[in-house]
Chains A and B, each alone.
Chain A
Amino acid sequence: DVKVTQSSRYLVKRTGEKVFLECVQDMDHENMFWYRQDPGLGLRLIYFSYDVKMKEKGDIPEGYSVSREKKERFSLILESASTNQTSMYLCASSFFRQGHYGYTFGSGTRLTVV
């Protein structure tokens, strides 16, 4: 069974800390994504990557950066965590086959910044 694994289910960090969220996929997918999910706002795209060392900004990249040194791993970095970054973070990877885009999501990391 294909998998997207996020390293932590729950994290509590202090304001100003540098935070790393890790995501690993075992499907050899080219594309990987980071979304944040907030009630009433749905899923909003932070960053995505279409190849190793390649990245593009999503709709809400401010305060975040990403790293993709290996195809299977995509990291989200909060340079200086703030309380408004308290959220559920979802990683996904995707493929394109037979006219359909298949996205597989991880189970999420619930981050609380205090």
Chain B
Amino acid sequence: QQQVKQSPQSLIVQKGGISIINCAYENTAFDYFPWYQQFPGKGPALLIAIRPDVSEKKEGRFTISFNKSAKQFSLHIMDSQPGDSATYFCAASEKRGATNKLIFGTGTLLAVQP
């Protein structure tokens, strides 16, 4: 079963618009929630991350909103640009054995049209 559910699968936004990607989880033991950005031919790269004791984190045009009671978190990209076109993955960190592992959502393909 998918431990981190991500939606939508794909998203088309006009330049200057707001892109919103949502994720939900069930495991309350998750303690770290990063978002990764992946361009074609590249591995995912960390974009922004949040811990569950914070409801919002902003870095430039990227904001994570976190709702602990609803077990949901979302990525907002303000003033979306064509260069933001990529696949975005949410993830959640779980203690596993002697380390922590990331569990990923299924990804959202974002296309920002000029």
Which residues from chain A sit less than 8 Å from chain B, CB to CB? 4, 30-31, 33, 35, 40-45, 48, 50-51, 54, 56, 58-59, 90, 92, 94, 96, 99-103, 105-108
- A96 x B45 contact (CB < 8 A): no
- A42 x B32 contact (CB < 8 A): no
Q: Does residue B43 face the partner (Cβ distance < 8 Å to A)? A: yes
- A31 x B99 contact (CB < 8 A): yes
A-contacting 9-mer, from B59-67, B68-76, B77-85, B100-108: B100-108
- A90 x B9 contact (CB < 8 A): no
A100 contacts which chain B residues (CB < 8 A)?
32, 49
Bound: A107/B43 CA distance, A: 4
Bound: A94/B98 CA distance, A: 13
Chain A, residue nearest B106 (CB): A42
The residue among B34, B43, B51, B96 with the most chain A CB atoms within 10 A of its own CB is B43
Which residues from chain B sit less than 8 Å from chain A, CB to CB? 6, 9, 32, 34, 41-46, 49, 51, 89, 93, 96-107
A41 contacts which chain B residues (CB < 8 A)?
106
B60 CB → nearest A CB, Å: 17
Q: How many A-B residue pairs have CB under 8 A?
A: 67
A-B contacts, 13 of them at CB < 8 A, read A33-B102, A40-B107, A41-B106, A42-B104, A42-B106, A48-B96, A48-B101, A54-B98, A56-B97, A99-B51, A100-B32, A101-B49, A108-B43
Bound: A90/B107 CA distance, A: 15
Known: A101-B32, A101-B93. A40 touches B101 (CB 8 A): no
Bound: A13/B99 CA distance, A: 33
Bound: A25/B100 CA distance, A: 18
- Of the candidates B43, B93, B98, B107, the one whose C-beta lies within 8 Å of that of A42 is B107
- B43 x A90 contact (CB < 8 A): yes
- Of the candidates B45, B51, B89, B96, the one whose C-beta lies within 8 Å of that of A43 is B89
Query: Besides A33-B101, A101-B32, A103-B102, 11 other CB < 8 A contacts?
Result: A30-B99, A33-B102, A42-B6, A43-B44, A43-B102, A50-B98, A51-B98, A100-B49, A101-B100, A103-B46, A108-B41
